Every structure is written in C-alpha cells, then in structure tokens.
Structure 1
Amino acid sequence: MNLRPDPTFYPSPNDAIHAPVEKLAFTLMLSPDGTKPDGLAVVDVDPESKTYSQIVHELYVDNLGDEFHHFGWNACSSALSPLTGHAFLERRYLIIPGIRSSRIYIIDVKEPLNAKVHKIIEPEELFAKTGYSRPHTIHCGPEGIYVSTLGGGGEDGTDGPPGIFIMDCESFEILGRYEMDRGIQDKHYDFWWNLPRDYMVSSEWGLPPQFENGVVPEDLLSNKYGHTIHFWDLRGRKVTKSIDLGAHHQMALEIRPAHDPVKEYGFCGVVVDTTNLQGAIFTWWRDDDGEWQAKKTITIDPVPADADDLPELLKGFGAVPPLVTDIDLSLDDKYLYVACWGLGEMHQYDVSDPMNPVLAGKVEIGGIVAKHKHPNGKTFGYGPQMVEVSRDGKRVYWTNSLYSTWDDQFYPGERGAAMVMARVGDDGGFALDPDFWIDFPEGYRSHQIRLEGGDCSTDSFCYPSVG
C-alpha cells in the first residue's frame, strides 16, 4: 500500500486529460490455434525513444489455450471515491482473463520491462466461487475488481446465466457474485458505471455455444444473439430496467458512459442489423422523469461486393457489413471512435450533442474486400478492432483481431497481428502515423491495448470536471 494516492489516479476526467503522456502500451497476444502460450507485449510509444514503435518486452504464460481477450487494472481513479474508496492502492497489476480457459492471471507490471506473473486463479476456483465461466471484461471499482463473464456453469457454459463477480483488490481472492436481482438478464458482455450517480449499464453478446466456434449463422438470422441493455442500481446490485434495442439489432457490445459523472448518458455499439446489415450506435440516457431511454443515433451502411470477394459466411448477402466491434469515447466526451471491422474503417464522431452525432473523421485500413494498406505500405490484416484513446485525446491506437474463430470466418487464412496509431487534429479529424507500426511474433494475433497510467476505457471518475 502507498502512503499517498497513486499519481496516476485523477479526481475528474479533466484532470486526467492533463496527465503526463503515456510512454508505454500493453497489448495482449493470443495464439489462435492454442499451440503456443498467450502473452503480453510491452510497446514503446514514446516518439523520443530509440525503441519507439517497437516491442520492448514480452511475457508469456505457461499454459496453452487461454485466448487472452480483454484485460484491465487492479486499481484506477475510481479508488478516489469519497464513499468507499481505497485511495492508497497502486496501479500495479494487470488482470488478464483467458476467455477460453476461464483462467485468470495477475501480472505485476511495476517494472514494465520485467513484467511477471504474480498470481494465477485456476478455473476450478472461479467455478466453485461464482458458478460463472469465460471471464471477459475487467473494471477496477472503488472497493474491488469487477469481472464480467460470458458463460455460466457446466462444460458449455449454459448451466445458468453468466454475470459479474468481484475480486479483492489487494489479495485478488474471488469474493463472489455481484448480482442480487438480475431481472431478465440471461446473457452478458460489457458493463460500466457512473459511480456518483450509482448506476451501472450492461450489455449482451451470446452464450458460449454461440461464439466459441464462430458465428452460428442460424442463430444470427433468427436473432438469437443479445440485443438488450440492462440498467442496474449499482449499490443495490439489481436491475431496475432492461431495454430491448430490437431483436434485429444483434450483439449489443461495448458500453461507453460519459466520463464526466455529472452527465447521465452513454453509448452502446451494435454489431449488425439483420434486416439491412447496418452497424449502429445507440445513445442511452436518463430522462427528466428519471427513466432510462435508448435511441439509435448512428447507422453505418454495408458496402456492396462481389460474392467471389466475400468469405463463405457473407457470399449470400452480396455486401460487406460494417461489423461494429468496438467503440471508445475520449475523456472530454467529445469524440466517439467506432471500429468498423468488416469495412476496414475507423470512424470518429463528434458527440458533443450525444443525440446528434456528426462524422468528423475516418481512417481506412484493412477490410474484408477493401484491403486498405497502411501509409508505410504494409498490409493490415483483418480490420480495425480493439481501439484505445490516450487520456489527452491526441492519439488513437488499435489492433486487428476480433476473436480467433471469428477472424477465421470473416478473414480466412492467417493475416498477421498488427497495432497502429492515428494522431488527432486540434479541431478533430485524424490520420495514421506513418512511423508507428507494431509487428508481433509470428503465429500470434493482437487484441486489447492498455496505456501506461490509464486510458479512455479504463478509469471511472468520482468528481465532475471544471472548466
């Protein structure tokens, strides 16, 4: 325990915007066929460094078949909560779940170039203490580490609904399930909260048989994937309202609330509309009567394509869907970044008015049919996927793998892992940095990114911004 709060903890989003610029990034590496152990790459993102745009350290675990996917910190700015905070924690450990193995690794990155495994939580402990499996999203809360899961009990993860469990933020012991009353919630994906306003929002992807071996076309066309978002009484640990976005809005994924806790709105990305192949963004908000509402505020159209240029899964449609697979919101709540994994595009929307987003910029790279190259001439396999924004909003990083079996369906053949970065203009718009390109070891794919000291999908804040 520190004698004073970690210097990377900030009371408000505005304070964090003015934090020192990140010099390192942490990126997950996964072995798609499970023949190699998954790992963590430490990437130099300091343009003044001699090793800029290079992997400067690699850590590999001892097990096979984990499939590293999402990960997060043991502690962040939420520790400054005036009610239940652990202000003297240290942002020191990365919590990395294996989405296939249900194994969880606690990685000590106090010395990033000597990162090491601190503790391993085996799947048997997770099953015994929660009844859940397939851990997914990590959020550092003021009193513990919250982890969402995609599976319930049983071998195929369908014995009971998935949910959220809580870990002790110092010992990393699993404490137990979060939910007291889940209402109709029976699938899971992402979640996030507004701590002072005391609410949480969660979303839905699908159950393990619907994603582990790839998209199940029959389930998708029958609208059997998740399409509902749930609003929770955070401290009461119960659902207060569930909003169905429409059965045809399949796979409601990332939840991105406004960072300023005064604001009571946020966004949710939807992978595909099965009636027209559009991607969509919904804005959700609490109205003047205290009721939760949601409205589709962004649509992204598919692009017609010759069947011969499409993977088997899409040949019958004659078009490339955008496939909105990740979104991220800048700390000033101004720009929403939307990864269109199918088209090979990263969109930037001005969401200063969250009910009327405006397209402010677009970067083209990769894509099922487009195959846009990087400015350095290299081929970017797959499409823009996991996106992370620097605290000052001036740099946007992303990788290219979605999930191993889905990669193989939409982009057959090995395409290689990559990580790129775009620089944001003072008045919006953004463009790829031609000098930033990360190659990963052969046989690996790259997924989520975390930035040194925090980023735009890590920290939640307890105090309003001023100015």
Structure 2
Amino acid sequence: MATDVAVIQHPTVVNGVDHGCCNNGPGYATPLQAMSGPKEKLLYVTCVYSGTGKGKPDYLGTVDVDPNSPTYSKVIHRLPVPYVGDELHHSGWNSCSSCHGDPSAQRRFLVLPSLISGRIYVVDTLKDPKAPSLHKIVDPADIVQKTGLAYPHTSHCLASGDLLVSCLGDKDGNAEGNGFLLLDSKFNVKGRWEKPGHSPLFGYDFWYQPRHKTMISSSWGAPLAFTKGFNPQHVSDGLYGRHLHVYSWPEGELKQTMDLGNTGLIPLEIRFLHDPSKDTGYVGCALTSNMVRFFKTPDGSWSHEVAISVEPLKVQNWILPEMPGLITDFLISLDDRFLYFVNWLHGDIRQYNIEDPKNPVLTGQVWVGGLLQKGSPVVAVKDDGETWQADVPEIKGHRLRGGPQMVQLSLDGKRLYVTNSLFSAWDHQFYPELMEKGSHMLQIDVDSVKGGLAINPNFFVDFEGEPEGPSLAHEMRYPGGDCTSDIWI
C-alpha cells in the first residue's frame, strides 16, 4: 500500500494542465466562471477488465483530447491497479469547487471506488497529469470493520476537506446495510456520515445543496441482485429501488423519503442545478426511462414530478415485447440551460433546454449505437405495424457498438464525451459484443446557443486494441474538474 505524502501548495498550472482558476483554492468561484475555464486537453477514464474473463486488473486510462496533439483521441497512459476483480466504476476528487475558498486545498487526488471489491484507490494526478500514479489504497476490510459498508459507488469532496462515498450494501450484498462512508483528507476511514438509524433503503448516487441544507440520494438496487445481471423478477421482488432520500446537510438526518412509484423505477444519477441558490434538480429513472424533477415546496418539504418521458418501443426479436430507453446517465450544463441524457438500450443521446425547469424542450438528438441500429436483428414496430431501425454512422471506419452510457461535458458546454459500458455483468447480458471488442469513446459537438448535437467524425477512442485486450470504458473526468464532480456552496 502506498504511504501518505505531504500535500504541498502547487501552482494552478502544472505541466501545461490548469487545475483551477486562481490561488484561492481548487476549482472556480461560480459555475459561470467555470465555463470560461481552459479547454480540456486530457481526460481520465475508468477502464474495466473485471467480469470480462481476461483476469487482468482494471486501470485508469489517460486520453488525449487536444485536437492539436499528434496523439489526439488516443489512450496515452494506463495506470493498472494492483488487484484483479475490482470493477472500477465512478470517480471523484479529493477537493473541488466546494473548497474554492480554502487556499490550502488542491484538486490533486482522484478517488476511484471499486464497486465489487470495495477497495478505494487514491491516484495522484498532479505530479504528472499525463501519467497519474497510485498514492494510497483504502482497504475494504478496514471499511467493513469500522462501518459495515461495502460496494462503494459515488465519491464527492466536501468543503471540510473530508470525502463522502455512497455505498450500496453490506459485505454480503444486502441493500439493508448500505449508507455513506466518510473519509478524512488523508483518506482514513472516519465512520459513517448519516446518523445511526438514518440509512437509506437502497444506495447509489447523491448530490448536496448546502444553501438549502439538503442532500438527496438515489436508489439502484441490492448488490446481490444487480451483480448477477438484470432480472425483471428482482424488481417485483423488491430488490431494486424507487425512492429518493432527503437528508439534512451536513447533519446526516434522514428527513424525508420520496416514493417515486411506478414512474420512477431504479432512479440512478441525481443532480441539483449548479446554481447553489436553486432548490430544484433531476434524477434519471432507468427502468421507466423518465427524468423526474424534484423541488422544494412552500412548507420546506420536497416533492417531485415527471419532467421528461421516453416511451418504451414495441420491438421484435428481443427478450421482451417492449424495450425501455434505459436512461443510465445524464448531466446539466454549468449555466443550467441544457440537460443531456442517454438511452443506453435505444441508442440515442438527447439534449433538452431546461431554462424552464418544469417544461424541458427537446433541442437535439443523435443516434450513436443501441440495439435498434441498422444491421441489428432487433427492430422497432410502429403503431401501424411498420418496422424501423436507427441510422447510426460509422466513425473513422468503425461500426458503433453498445449504446451510449456515461457522458461528460466540456466546461464551455460545447463538447460532449460519451463511453458505452454500464457495468460488466449488464454489458455481457445486453451487449455481449463489448466483451469481445471492448468499448469506444466518442465526442459530440454541441450547439450551446440554439441547441443541437452532431458526432465529431475525427474523434474515436477504440478500446479494442488495448495492450491487455479489449476493455470496458466507463466514467470520465478532466484534471481541472467538470460539471458532474463540482458542487458550489
């Protein structure tokens, strides 16, 4: 295990990478200020061999996204972790814009929770941003012993310097044991964040909005269910979530549980608007493919309503007669004007104008894969019986595989990056081709004025030809932060 190193002051620009706007602390003073930050040149992506049968450790890939570079759209560095079978999934920073007022804080360490093994890797990105190095490993046995928590998922930095990590279950995969892990600034286990007896029914993602003294978390399912692939019977058996959990911030008292009902099955990614004064946000409900808006009511409690619905499609030659879109990831531009989400099964990415948060307006849509693309055995059926499939272009001679899954938006809102792996067990079930050929990463050009999406034909990162074999690419981060990791206070 790597030992702790002293955290020292660094200039904001290191090896050509800007890690913040000024010397006040990491990140930016406001979301709008972040939009004028430097254009991204590097992108970190979690890459998985777990569940593929290759017997290789997962790794953090560094991708060159500078169009003026000779290695543009290439993986230029790989940091393998020391163990096999982790399933690196999401990631977060040790410090972000919530620490902007603290000149002693710096965005240096990328935190990589392992969804299956429970290990948490801490990676130093500041010594050499193009070639990150392993700094520390948080032992899962230590986490279990001190908190009972396992299956760590989302990591967010706190203004206090601590880190908060959502965990999806206990060591045996039961959802009843889930909750929130608190790490200190040296990545030592402090304990649970939530008050005793205030753990959620299920765990997944979370976002906090300090000016409203609120944190809200979402619900995937019991690890003993979702790690085996998706079985619709498990939904009926109550092994998947449909609730949002509202906590007092920062006290950790569960104040309210919102049952989203049958319109909100499997609520995954959750985001407040970036403006910290706003009391509204959205959650993407995967199975029912609805974007649900949540908001504060005049009496101080929280309510919800469906803001966008993706209708299931009637299909032929698939496991069910209807196919949900399966909204698995979404994000909001830093100016809170546009919302972007993916339909992992259908294969499209959508852009909505949310300047009126109650009434999102579709402004862009692009097809980048999915089960319905031309050449697939699966066809969609219209009401009149006519069948159709989506036109999906080849990029740099490559037929697009899988469906759009994780997304990341440039600070200026003009470039959307997309990967296509959800979780190895689900990839194997719905897109077995990914096991053989691996993932790819695309970049979508965004019209951030009027709205509109178009695939960049010159950008294609192919994970099929990786040195250890095809890998599954998941979440993406920029060295200087992004709209899904930074929270303003």
Structure 1 length-normalised TM: 0.91
- CA positional deviation for 1:254: 0.6
CA distance in 2 between partners of 1:427 and 1:408 (Å): 38
Deviations 1:65-98 (A, max 9, x none): 00111011111010136xxxx4421111111111
For the pair 1:449 / 2:473, whether they are aligned, the reply is no
CA distance in 1 between partners of 2:460 and 2:399 (Å): 11
- CA positional deviation for 1:399: 0.3
Q: Which amino acid aligns with 1:187?
A: F
Number of the residue aligned with 1:286: 296
Contact 1:195 1:460 (8 Å CA) reproduced: no
CA distance in 1 between partners of 2:271 and 2:32 (Å): 17
Number of the residue aligned with 2:52: 33
Q: Which amino acid aligns with 1:151?
A: G
Number of the residue aligned with 1:2: 9
Change (3 A) 1:225 1:427: same
Secondary structure of the residue that 1:366 maps to in structure 2? coil
Equivalent residues in 2 for 1:250-269 (5 A)? 250-269=265-284
Q: Give the alignment partner of residue 306 of structure 1, picking from 311, 316, 322.
A: 316
Number of the residue aligned with 2:359: 356
Equivalent residues in 2 for 1:51-66 (5 A)? 51-66=71-86
Number of the residue aligned with 1:194: 209
CA distance in 2 between partners of 1:33 and 1:261 (Å): 41
For the pair 1:88 / 2:115, whether they are aligned, the reply is no
CA distance in 2 between partners of 1:89 and 1:53 (Å): 31
- CA positional deviation for 1:290: 1.8
For the pair 1:217 / 2:236, whether they are aligned, the reply is no
Q: Which amino acid aligns with 1:79?
A: C
Deviations 1:250-304 (A, max 9, x none): 211111100001111000000123xxxxx10000011223221100010001222
Change (3 A) 1:119 1:6: farther
Q: Give the alignment partner of residue 402 of structure 2, picking from 366, 377, 382.
A: 382
Change (3 A) 1:259 1:182: farther
Number of the residue aligned with 2:4: none
| Comparing 323-332 and 180-189, the one that deviates more | 180-189
Q: Give the alignment partner of residue 118 of structure 1, picking from 127, 130, 135.
A: 135
Number of the residue aligned with 1:231: 246
Contact 1:320 1:368 (8 Å CA) reproduced: no
CA distance in 1 between partners of 2:250 and 2:125 (Å): 31
Change (3 A) 1:351 1:147: same
CA distance in 1 between partners of 2:400 and 2:326 (Å): 17
Q: Which amino acid aligns with 2:442?
A: V
CA distance in 2 between partners of 1:137 and 1:182 (Å): 21
- CA positional deviation for 1:157: 2.5
Q: Give the alignment partner of residue 399 of structure 1, picking from 411, 419, 430.
A: 419
CA distance in 1 between partners of 2:177 and 2:394 (Å): 42
For the pair 1:243 / 2:258, whether they are aligned, the reply is yes
Change (3 A) 1:401 1:6: farther
CA distance in 2 between partners of 1:159 and 1:298 (Å): 28
Contact 1:223 1:247 (8 Å CA) reproduced: no
- CA positional deviation for 1:391: 1.3
CA distance in 2 between partners of 1:141 and 1:57 (Å): 29
Structure 2 residue runs of 5 or longer lacking an equivalent are: 1-7, 11-21, 375-391
- CA positional deviation for 1:6: 6.3
Q: Give the alignment partner of residue 432 of structure 2, picking from 412, 416, 426.
A: 412
Number of the residue aligned with 2:460: 437
Change (3 A) 1:284 1:87: farther
- CA positional deviation for 1:367: 0.4
Contact 2:354 2:360 (8 Å CA) reproduced: yes
- CA positional deviation for 1:55: 1.1
CA distance in 2 between partners of 1:172 and 1:342 (Å): 37
CA distance in 2 between partners of 1:319 and 1:450 (Å): 34
Number of the residue aligned with 1:276: none
CA distance in 2 between partners of 1:223 and 1:187 (Å): 11
Q: Which amino acid aligns with 1:393?
A: G
CA distance in 2 between partners of 1:207 and 1:218 (Å): 13
Number of the residue aligned with 2:18: none
CA distance in 2 between partners of 1:407 and 1:159 (Å): 22
Count of residue pairs brought into register by the alignment? 443
Number of the residue aligned with 1:45: 65
CA distance in 2 between partners of 1:348 and 1:409 (Å): 28
Structure 1 residue runs of 5 or longer lacking an equivalent are: 274-278, 463-467
Contact 1:229 1:243 (8 Å CA) reproduced: yes
Contact 1:164 1:177 (8 Å CA) reproduced: yes
CA distance in 2 between partners of 1:416 and 1:130 (Å): 36
For the pair 1:134 / 2:151, whether they are aligned, the reply is yes
Q: Which amino acid aligns with 1:327?
A: F
For the pair 1:72 / 2:99, whether they are aligned, the reply is no
Deviations 1:200-227 (A, max 9, x none): 1100000111111111221124554100
For the pair 1:145 / 2:163, whether they are aligned, the reply is yes
For the pair 1:173 / 2:174, whether they are aligned, the reply is no
- CA positional deviation for 1:8: 4.8
- CA positional deviation for 1:373: 3.7
For the pair 1:344 / 2:347, whether they are aligned, the reply is yes
For the pair 1:369 / 2:372, whether they are aligned, the reply is yes
Contact 2:179 2:199 (8 Å CA) reproduced: no
Secondary structure of the residue that 2:408 maps to in structure 1? strand
- CA positional deviation for 1:418: 0.6
Deviations 1:167-187 (A, max 9, x none): 112x11111100115547221
For the pair 1:106 / 2:122, whether they are aligned, the reply is yes
Change (3 A) 1:374 1:266: farther
Secondary structure of the residue that 1:435 maps to in structure 2? coil
Contact 1:145 1:168 (8 Å CA) reproduced: yes
Higher relative contact order (CA 8 A, sep 6+): 1
For the pair 1:270 / 2:285, whether they are aligned, the reply is yes
- CA positional deviation for 1:408: 1.2
Q: Give the alignment partner of residue 17 of structure 1, picking from 29, 35, 40.
A: 35
Contact 1:320 1:369 (8 Å CA) reproduced: no
Contact 1:28 1:68 (8 Å CA) reproduced: yes
User: Aligned-pair RMSD on alpha carbons?
Assistant: 1.7
Number of the residue aligned with 1:161: 177
